[in-house]
Amino acid sequence: MSGTRTGGALRHMILTRLGIGLFTLFIISILVFLAVSMLPGDIAEQVLGRNATPEAVEAFRRQLGLDQGLVPRYLSWIAGVLQGDFGRSLANGRPVSELLAGRLGNTMFLALYAAVIAVPLAVTLGLLAALWRGSWFDRLINILSLSAISFPEFFIAYLLMFWLSVNWGLFPSMASVSPDASFGEMLRATFLPAITLVLVVTAHMMRMTRAAVVNVLGAPYVAMSRLKGASRWRMIVKHALPNALAPIINVVALNIAWLITGVVIVEVVFVYPGMGQLMVDSVTNRDMPVVQACALIFAAVYILLNLIADVLAIATNPRLLHPR
């Protein structure tokens, strides 16, 4: 019976969070549409040039549907999105989904590359720092993590570019990859942006892992286990880590979400053909459908990963299903 109640509560929680996520995404779509509509400049004037007559500009705006009001334009856009149609680029007339296909894959590859390195590294360093709390290793890791958090990602990117590319020539300074590049070529070309992201997110995950494990190590049952002669590693693996999984999973999922949605600056610095670079170029060109699609996809990924983090955190700690 308790298992049935727990399963029902978990399903209810998932449906509730999913409903909240969809409502949040709807509100975000409105905000994104309004924000993009208020961008300065006119795509019609930019495409036709400064020498275009006002009549030609107005005819081109009517052709693009920009002469309509905000509400009809939003309803038309969101109806298309619900059918999987993000419209056409105002800059080149190509379907937005076609432009996004390869760029989204590149961004996901870069985020996965960074996550494969950052997550095991952060959890391991956090466990070691908690195990040897107060030691020189713990202090060193905390100093390094605070330093990494203090520096913005573009500063870290330029430092890595200067050392590993300009000075030593180990990796290319621009992460330009072709669609037919091999897996090894992709790894080498994207190493610098991936390591930049690793240095930024590892510190957050490591500090949360350390804090969660240290908090569990102070629990009475861990002290009892220590009195019974259990080794440090046994206490960590058997007691501390399983009970600290919920906050660790949350921070890992949030940082993975940031890896996907927060890569704009890193992609621009390294000229990487991902979603972030496409979004910046589209803002410059006043290509509203592409900007709206990029922002909406970033928001959807972030909301989805937050939902997954909540579900996994609660599944690993069923007590959260029945808070007192």
Quick one: angle between helices 136-150 and 96-131, nearest 10?
150
CA distance 282 to 14: 35
> Which segments of 110-267 are extended strands (E)?
none
Beta bridge partners of 95: 88
Cβ atoms of 173 and 93 within 8 Å: the answer is: no
Q: Widest CA span of the chain, in angstroms?
A: 87
User: Within a domain: residue 194?
Assistant: yes
- Classify residue 169: in a domain, yes or no: yes
DSSP state of 319: G
| Angstrom distance (rounded) from CA 62 to CA 56 | 10
Burial per residue of 71-107, b for 16 or more beta-carbon CB atoms within 10 angstroms, e otherwise: eebbeebbeebeeeebbbbbbeeeebeebbeebbebb
pLDDT in tens, the chain (324 residues): 455 665 666 777 778 888 888 899 999 999 988 887 777 666 666 666 667 777 777 787 777 677 777 888 888 888 888 888 888 887 777 888 888 887 888 899 999 999 999 999 998 888 888 888 888 888 888 888 888 878 888 888 888 888 988 888 888 888 877 777 788 888 888 999 999 999 888 888 888 888 888 887 777 777 777 777 767 677 777 767 777 777 788 888 888 888 887 788 898 889 898 898 888 888 887 788 888 899 899 889 888 888 888 777 777 665 555 555
3-class state of residue 299 by DSSP: helix
The count of domains in the chain is: 1
| pLDDT on residue 41 | 65
Q: Nearest-CA neighbor of 242 among 220, 212, 207? A: 212
Q: Which domain holds residue 182?
A: 2-40+86-321
User: Residue 79: inside a domain, yes or no?
Assistant: no
- The pair of structure tokens assigned to 209 is 């892992």
**Residue 248 is inside which H or E element, if any?**
helix 245-261
Whether 304 is covered by a domain: the verdict is yes
Tokens for 296, please give them: 């909406």
Instruction: Answer yes or no: pTM beyond 0.85.
Output: no
Domain for residue 307, yes or no? yes
Question: Does a structural domain hold residue 51?
Answer: no
Give dist(CA 263, CA 196) in Å, integer.
10
Residue 176 in any domain: the answer is yes
- Decide if 127 contacts 213 (C-beta within 8 A): yes
What is the predicted pLDDT for the residue at 42?
A: 65
C-alpha 9/C-alpha 322 separation (Å) is 8
Q: Report d(CA 242, CA 282) in Å as an integer.
A: 45
Q: Give the CATH number, domain containing residue 222.
A: 1.10.3720.10
Q: Is residue 282 in some structural domain?
A: yes
Cα–Cα distance measured from residue 158 to residue 165, given in angstroms and rounded to the nearest whole number: 10
In this structure, the number of other CB atoms found within 10 A of the CB of residue 138 comes to 18
